[in-house]
Structure 1
Amino acid sequence: MGRHSRKGAEAIRPDAAAADPAGRPDVPRPSGGRRRRQGPVPPADGYTPFQDAPQVRGGHPEQREPGGGWGTGPQPRHETTGGQQRSYAYGSAPGAPDQDAAREQAVARQVSAQQAAQHAADGRTARQPAADPGAMPGPRREFVDAFDADPPTPVGTPEARSGAGAAGPPVEPEEAPDGEPAERREAKGGKGRTFTGIAAAAVTTVLAVVVAGQVAEDSAGRGAVARAAGVDRDGSEGASRSDARPTPEHAVTRAPEVKPLSYGEKMAQPYPIAADLKATGKFEAVPGLAKAPGKGQKYRYRIDVEKGLSLDAGLFAEAVQKTLNDDRSWAHNGAMTFERISSGSPDFVITLASPGTTGEWCAKSGLDTTIDNVSCDSAATDRVMINAYRWAQGSATFGPKLLLPYRQMLINHEVGHRLGYNHVSCRTPGALAPVMQQQTKSLDIDGIKCKPNPWVHPGS
């Protein structure tokens, strides 16, 4: 218990003979209380060391102040008597009575106080109601027990060096430096630590409840914001607040209106088609009726378009009707008038066909149109064949900028053959070529070069 064992002859007190006439050493006997005070025993060699300086390494006294950290209670004093070192606590003088019994009683009271405090804490814990499964969990038991555990002995104290802290409870005097009994101070310290643990657990529970309330309030706030924005929990979006508001006029982005092309613009555009195309060979009449506008000799015709062509059949039908009834055409001065029908018996059939099909129908009348990929009037049949390649692409003699005049010339030239007119060549250099000249092939015949011309009566 912090005191060195005294064995051997030198451990016998000097007054042993007076205590026992037989000369036997003083044998410890059972005692019901404290031992009698003994007077100070002078050292055998007459040397008196510093009585208040503990023995430490380096030979310097170690100073400690009362009221320090855990385990820094009253420190023992040391003295050397007869070559042996004896220890006693601060506040006692050399030669004080043996305090083994006092220490044992103090330790017993300390243990009893700690056990009472622990039983009180266990009783309060047992009286607590069972935890609600839905309630917020409190602090774990080991966290509360940590406040009740005895503090460790600080490193470097006399108790730690002497091993008293590991062997048993620390040696403390009967009275604390401040005059308060040790057992009362220990009991109060144990209860304080218990109350501190309970208070810490209560604070932790309150903090957990507050945090849970803030999380719930934050979640409710986000849900309210989402509902106000029109977004449901399933991710579906409600009607926008701006749906019912009128959009400012300057903010309206309108797509530019696509103006339909006029007849002249459509007739001036080329259309893609292969020069060696051979379509289905089957024809389909363009529906509808276009009455003859004049009072001259009436010719009734039908328009057939070969199936499989990617050309505008309605545009072709409109071009034929306008071109034939133009005053610069065969209807000049009301001599003739042309009417388009889609059923009945026509005078002839103007047919728009692929180059391959055109060649087959022209060959029925002994004409070869495959050399220059041209059109023809198949006189042996009722069809006036218009080569779809020439209709879509034009010719080099007119060029890409004169597609409209070239298409008018193509209609007037082939229908002229059906009306009984043959080919005619240009006779005046630089003049307009006759409409019945083969202008698709050349504008220079016998060294006489003429200008392209689509009309029968161009000066009208």
Structure 2
Amino acid sequence: MGKHSARAPQAEREATGEVPVVPAAAARGAVRTDPWEPVGRSAVRGPAIGWGVIGRQGGRPPAAPASPPAPARDGGGRRAARGGASGGAHRAGGGAVRTVTGVAAAVVTAVLAVVVAGQVEDGTESRAQARTQDADRGRGGDTMGAASRSDSRPTPHGGAAVPATYDQKMALKYPLDRAAKGSGEFSVVPGHDKAPGKGEVLRFRVDVEKGLPLDGALFATAVHRTLNDDRSWGHGGTRTFERVSSGPADFVVTLASPGTTARWCAKSDLDTTVDNVSCDSAATDRVMINAYRWAQGAETYGDRMLEYRQMLINHEVGHRLGHNHESCAKSGALAPVMMQQTKFLTTDGNTCRPNPWPYPGR
């Protein structure tokens, strides 16, 4: 009676599903080999066992048991009752408890396995990406980080465009209408350029017509450099040229629109309108340089703008110094600087090559 009554409550509780059947090995505290088999009420801690397995196996859940667990026995080692309503309830209720608990633990553990595995993969991928980017930077690869470092590097002249040189500016053509007319008023280009050579010193001033879309300072520099080149009119130390912006001057080199140039040349009975050319207005103190020719050049020189501008200065100042027009004496020879090279390079059947210098050094 006592022994039977002691087992009866346990059997009834097992039959109603209140207490799951505990295997004998688990009851004695033995180490479980199947982390997914619940042990009494500790089955709620099944996922904790699963975490340990996941950590050791790289995020993969363990395989399902090969065979169902052995039938539970009562406290005396005898199998639980099979017959009767209570026996049926025990198998249905107890099996349900174990099944539900095991499934819940498996689901929770599977979810955690996915999360942990994702974290592991994310960390691995991030480290791999970092190594790849570092390698690309080392090889000069085009990465966002490399671009940022490149953008932060200082650039020449603080990132501003490098200024064009004198030769580069002088080689360019500039837009200007061939029939352009200006204000007729002039501005003196400020500054002073000393005479660099020996011999007679000739002083000149540079005026630019107001409103011209051309660089007056570049024009003034070109006149001074050209006249003081040893191939120019100071060849051999016979004379040197000094640019002034105030005080007396021997002549004034003037950059003016075609219309204004024509008016000033007409004062010396010279017509520049036919070929839109320049002149030395000998009746005045002005050597007139036609701004259209200065900006656009001539067909005889094509794109050789630097040389054309040097010729233009030397030719008109040559008139001021007393030199008259010359012609081509021999085909293939350099044209005399006093030849009207803006208009042509051929005279009397001879065609010369363009030449901007009185003393070119042949």
TM-score by length of 2: 0.57
**For 2:353, what is the secondary structure of its paired residue?**
coil
Shift of 1:342: 0.5
Question: Which one of the candidate residues 290, 315, 329 is aligned to 1:427?
Answer: 329
| Aligned equivalents of 1:248, 1:430: Cα separation in 2 | 59
Judged with a 3 Å threshold, the aligned counterparts in structure 2 of structure 1 residues 250 and 280 are, in CA distance, closer, same or farther, namely: closer
Name 2:340's counterpart in structure 1.
Answer: 438
| Aligned equivalents of 1:390, 1:250: Cα separation in 2 | 45
Name 2:142's counterpart in structure 1.
Answer: none
Opposite residue 419 of structure 1, the aligned amino acid is: L
**Any residues of structure 2 matched to 1:230-245 within 5 Å, and which?**
none
Name 1:252's counterpart in structure 2.
Answer: 152
Name 1:20's counterpart in structure 2.
Answer: none
Name 2:164's counterpart in structure 1.
Answer: 261
Does the alignment pair 1:317 with 2:220? yes
Question: Which one of the candidate residues 366, 380, 404 is aligned to 2:306?
Answer: 404
Judged with a 3 Å threshold, the aligned counterparts in structure 2 of structure 1 residues 449 and 262 are, in CA distance, closer, same or farther, namely: same
* Superposition RMSD in Å: 1.5
| Aligned equivalents of 1:458, 1:291: Cα separation in 2 | 24
Question: Which one of the candidate residues 333, 358, 361 is aligned to 1:456?
Answer: 358
Shift of 1:249: 3.0
Does the alignment pair 1:284 with 2:184? no
Whichever structure has more helix as a proportion of its residues is 2
Shift of 1:373: 0.1
Judged with a 3 Å threshold, the aligned counterparts in structure 2 of structure 1 residues 250 and 299 are, in CA distance, closer, same or farther, namely: closer
Does the alignment pair 1:343 with 2:246? yes
Name 1:146's counterpart in structure 2.
Answer: none
Per-residue Cα deviation, 1:316-368 (whole angstroms, up to 9, x for no partner): 00000000000000111111100000111100100000000000000000000
TM-score by length of 1: 0.45
| Aligned equivalents of 2:235, 2:152: Cα separation in 1 | 53
Judged with a 3 Å threshold, the aligned counterparts in structure 2 of structure 1 residues 404 and 250 are, in CA distance, closer, same or farther, namely: closer
Per-residue Cα deviation, 1:401-421 (whole angstroms, up to 9, x for no partner): x00000000000000000000
Which contiguous aligned blocks of 4+ residues in structure 1 show a shift greater than 2 angstroms? 247-257
Judged with a 3 Å threshold, the aligned counterparts in structure 2 of structure 1 residues 344 and 428 are, in CA distance, closer, same or farther, namely: same
Shift of 1:253: 7.0
| Aligned equivalents of 2:264, 2:339: Cα separation in 1 | 22
Per-residue Cα deviation, 1:165-221 (whole angstroms, up to 9, x for no partner): xxxxxxxxxxxxxxxxxxxxxxxxxxxxxxxxxxxxxxxxxxxxxxxxxxxxxxxxx
Does the alignment pair 1:298 with 2:221? no
Which sections of structure 1, spanning at least 5 residues, go unmatched?
1-246
Question: Which one of the candidate residues 230, 249, 260 is aligned to 1:327?
Answer: 230
| Aligned equivalents of 2:298, 2:210: Cα separation in 1 | 24
| Aligned equivalents of 2:153, 2:182: Cα separation in 1 | 45
Shift of 1:397: 0.2
| Count of aligned pairs | 213
| Aligned equivalents of 2:270, 2:282: Cα separation in 1 | 10
Shift of 1:252: 2.5
| Aligned equivalents of 2:227, 2:337: Cα separation in 1 | 13
Opposite residue 405 of structure 1, the aligned amino acid is: E
| Aligned equivalents of 2:151, 2:290: Cα separation in 1 | 52
